[in-house]
Chain A
Amino acid sequence: MIEVQDLTKRYGSTVAVDRLSFTVPPGVVTGFLGPNGAGKSTTMRIILGLDRPTSGRALIDGRPYASLKGPLHHVGALLDAKDVHPGRTAKAHLTALALSNGIPTRRVGEVLDLTGLSAVAKKRIRGFSLGMSQRLGIAATMLGDPDVLMFDEPVNGLDPEGIVWIRTFMRAMAAEGRTVLVSSHLMSEMALTADHLIVIGRGRLLADVATRAFIEASSGNSVRVRSPQRDQLESLLRGKGLATTDVDGYLQVQGVTPAQVGDLAAANRLTVHELFVQNASLEAAFMEMTSASVEYHADTADIPHTTTTQGAPR
């Protein structure tokens, strides 16, 4: 378990983290979400004792990081895959980490196997691709078989295969009962990976919610229906005072449940081929929430997302 308590970090007059408090429980993947510059990396560095907080504290299983005995046995963290000496081999890098924490060096071979790096174990890290470096970073996190895992933007720069690999890995680790905290500014990635979200903006906590609830709570959820008798169905829906839109060959309806749409169709003997809830994207929910707190406002008016497809009645 990771506990962040009233954490503040100032760099001169800039407040990177602002009275941030949250808890990361074991057994689920917790997404740490926020725009670039929101304070995610700073918070993670403080949790790991790399940076000193201005005030407040962060605890791992109730203790400050620096007081953990053999910290790699408790926490595995991947902040930046390039935080290694490029002149060392993968094996040498991991061996040094293992030695420092009293981890048997046979474990080095195990984590190299685990991450599929055995073939390049004796190659210098200088020649590694970003994907290989990420795997090496993950191998390092697993050396001590820790209960707590932290990843900072782990999918950045990865190819699709690497992204799926890391996503699956994190979910597997959480399923084993470990605490998994993963930061990202990619909302779509979090939707696929995280069960729970800690959302921050400008160093402040914006939300601490289940991913599903986060999306459902946003205003853009709608029902989509496809029917061969589209026009008749549309008339019926409009007759009920519902706004409808054409989206990709579907009739999209706001403010209604799929059950209501299905019942309405059945009562009027209309055929329905598809009927489902179209959730607002996590991006949309996120934009809605952080619009007040993004570091630099872009012109978002022309960014398409599902919440803006409001239909005008004819």
Chain B
Amino acid sequence: MRRLCAMIAATLSVAGCAFCQGADWLTDGGNPQRTAWQKDEKIFNPENVRNMKLLWKIKLDNEPRQMHSLFPPLIINRVNTGAGPKQLLIEAGVSDNIYAIDAETGEVVWKKHFETGFTPPPNGGRGAGILCPGGQTATPVIGPSGTPGRYTIYAASWDGRLHQLNASDGEDIAPPAKFMPSNGKPYALNLWKNVLYTHTAQGCGGNPNVVYAYDLATGKVGTWGPAGGGMWGRSGPAISSSGVMYTGTGDGRWDPENGVFGNGIIGVKQDPATKALKLDDYYGPSNAEWLVKRDLDMQVTPAIFNYKGRELMVDAGKECRVYLMDTESIGGDDHRTPLYRTPLLCNEDVNFASAGIWGSMATWEDSKGTRWVLTPIWGPKHSAFKAPVEYGEVKDGAIVAFKVEEKSGKLQLTPAWVSRDMNRAEPPVIANGVVFAYGNGEDTDQAYPDVGLADVAERRIPGSTHAVLYALDAVTGKELWSSGDQIASWNHWTGLSVGNGHVYIGTYDSNLYCFGIKK
């Protein structure tokens, strides 16, 4: 009998039995702390990932808007559907679409399109453009309902309303509710203790750039801001164990004495009684004046992690440094002093586009207890930055890995490796010793030698090529696998999702690709 059970367990494990001990990816960045670490991955490993193949791809009927198309799909390991339990991907499209896709077959199980009565004005607010594409701009978030196999999808549509959908069939669990002004640009939703968090940027729709917190229990929405030019971390806000929501504040003046927090990092927390958001902490780099002068935004979603009993955070910006902070006091007594600040990793030319750190951070802990921090970089590596292990010249981007270490009683980020060159490296995901990363193939230039600033999709789309997905050894950075030319198109402002032996990536042409270990 025991041998029979062992055989069954082994069979199910080889078959990638997600139902048994499967992995979810319920939010952008994997978890509220935005570590991008798929801790529950049991199938991928550095050996078998070399055999990864394209398992399926599906073209969805989502219309791109400007350069936006599909968001990182969320993964629910086991959902009770009308056709039985399934592993579902919840894929959001910018044109107010939500798709539930069977993770094994790549077939659409259900689709929801948010009907809206919103009519955009001709030149409302910032008006239509790459920075303000309109449509659904926030990756949804999924919360358990309390019933096994039943999940609620929370999504914000173009008209600013909150939708709560049954993951089983896409039906509304509650009527769409007023949340934010329409035509704004919220970023990936986060869910913490029954409160949804997001923040907005670019002043889209004429809306101020603020933090939003939707209290699901009371239906009250708290706001805080503005803060600088906007909060546009790729994966939205990160939330600490004490419920403080952190984000970079983009571009703007740093003048905390007068309540202005541009080009820094803020932490806000909900007052549980009033539901108001209050400023809890803040950090402004000592060279904030320089950062705003050169448009070197603090615009990266931070990652929060435990390190030897302390809750630490890493963040970055276009200048191309990484900051290590303690959530007890992210900027120290003067709010200008993090635990550690790296030298410049890239952006030697001091450019506001096509260089620097964009998107989100990532962090994981290996089996030996070493804490790793990873960041994507765009453009050439800085000539003065060196890592012990590098894989050739970096011209267009790479993943840079650090170890968190203590030296002379102080914490620091010690360079570990720099990956191979990638065409605009994007935020990685770590799963069971493998770093999944990709170059998005996007033309990220915003200015030109003749006319200067001219950031329009008509110029950038023709210059974009195609994304390339990579699997790297998480300890050494060595390339283990590449998608080569298999991905036909590029993408903009999306990300990877990893779970149960699959990795997913969407492209501008609304194709969703699934690579994985073939059973």
Q: Is B a genuine binding partner of A?
A: no
Chain B contact residues, CB within 8 Å of chain A: none
Chain A contact residues, CB within 8 Å of chain B: none
